[in-house]
Structure 1
Amino acid sequence: MNKTGTRTLETSRLILRRFTIEDADDMYNNWASDPEVTEFLTWSPHPNVDFTRQLLKDWISKYEDGAYFNWVIELKENGQAIGNISVVELNEKLEAAEIGYCMSKNYWGQGIMPEALKAVMDYLFDVVNLNRVAACHDANNPKSGRVMDKAGMKLEGTLRATGKNNKGILYDKVWHSMIKSDRC
């Protein structure tokens, strides 16, 4: 595994880059404070922009760690930070990563998240040299699974009652993945 850390990635519509403290307002206003965005996530909506700013300070401090991968999703057309995608768990021994993501509901259904996920997977396979990239979603949120499918991941299965959402409710996790040999 190559510990290259979070590098800027670019797609036709997106710039995936490191967060800066200046992203706090966009993050708070566009997704982190929205209960609809966080409905199926493990974290609750942010109570205020200061909370978001503190979280970003923590994230930014980790960027020098080559095993830390956390991107803000910036839309090229307007320069707005509209979401984030990150490695939420890294297993160096198995050369595997679990990805998590979320995005402003104003941009749902436009193919933006599959585009970001594909770019991150390509980076993790081609530059970081991982063998497996996986993601999971709450079984009650099949739209997130469609993101994974559109990015080329394969459905692996459902693990019953293995997740707990931000309301403390257990849910079934549906797993998708891609391994390096799937990319042929």
Structure 2
Amino acid sequence: MINYLGTPTLKTERLTLRRLVLNDARSIFDNWLSDERVSDNRISPAHKVVSETKERVANIVNQYSRRDYCYWGIEISETGELIGEIDLYNFDNKTENCEVSYSLGYHWWNLGYGTEALKTVVEFGFSQMNIHKISAAHNTDNPASGKIMSKVGMVQEGTIRHMIRNAKNQYKDCAVYGLLQEDYLKKKIE
């Protein structure tokens, strides 16, 4: 059975994964949600005005009272700079599976932050929440995201053609990855 714990603060060597607050909206807008380079890898379009981001953050904050809501802002601990977001979602109580997604601001790509955040959330999901399987997907034209998934032990299970339609009305093929709790724990012990 999944042990729902909400969104506790998680720490890594360089990062603090924490709940978002309403005052984060400007940083979120500036650092990733208004950036076309980031939104090209997301389903939703880049935000044009900060009020869009404020509304989105308010919706996230309003859900933190739910135990089955796991949504973190990714913050550089040393500077307090908010650089991205990561969440566990789409929980299935029958299979005890869920999905993970993440976004990082363009200026923080290829610095290991995505891997560090994903590794921590996967560890939390398996060790604390007792999730059976965590899945993720990335657009095939964004192989860097697949490298992050592979670095934390996720395995590509296939490709789904035209899995999503982005904000530019383009269909995108997605590579689907997964990791089972038993495989994760086995590798951790070795």
TM-score for the superposition, normalised by structure 2? 0.94
Letter in 2 for 1:72: G
**Shift, 1:71, TM fit:** 0.3
Partner of residue 125, structure 1: 126
**Deviation string, structure 1 residues 77-113 (Cα, Å, up to 9, x no partner):** 2101100001242212111111111011111001110
How many residues are treated as equivalent by the alignment?
184
Name the amino acid aligned to 1:14.
Answer: L
- In the TM superposition, structure 1's runs of 4+ consecutive aligned residues that sit over 4 Å from their partners are none
Which residue of the partner structure matches residue 170 of structure 1? Answer: 171
- Whether 1:157 aligns to 2:158 is yes
Structure 1 residue 149: deviation in Å?
Answer: 0.7
Q: For residues 116 and 31 of structure 2, what CA distance do their matches in structure 1 show? A: 19
Match of 1:71 in 2: 72
Distance of 2:183 and 2:158 partners within structure 1 = 17
Give the drift of 1:178.
0.7
The alignment's C-alpha RMSD in Å is 0.9
Whole-Å Cα distance in 2 between the matches of residues 138 and 89 of structure 1? 19
- 1:59 paired with 2:60, answer yes
Q: What is the deviation of 1:166?
A: 1.7
Post-superposition shift, 1:156? 0.8
The separation in 1 between residues aligned to 2:98 and 2:150, in whole angstroms, is 17
- Find the aligned partners of 2:89 and 2:102 in 1 and give their Cα distance: 9
Alignment match, 2:117 = 116
Instruction: Give the AA of the match of 1:127.
Output: Q
Opposite residue 109 of structure 1, the aligned amino acid is N
Q: What is the CA–CA distance in structure 1 between the aligned matches of 2:29 and 2:148, rounded to whole Å?
A: 23
SS at match of 1:82: strand
Q: Does the CA-based 8 Å contact 1:40-1:166 persist in structure 2?
A: no
Counterpart residue identity of residue 118, structure 2: L
Q: Quote the Cα distance in structure 2 between the aligned partners of 1:82 and 1:141.
A: 19
Does the Cα contact within 8 Å between 2:69 and 2:89 map onto a contact in 1?
Answer: no
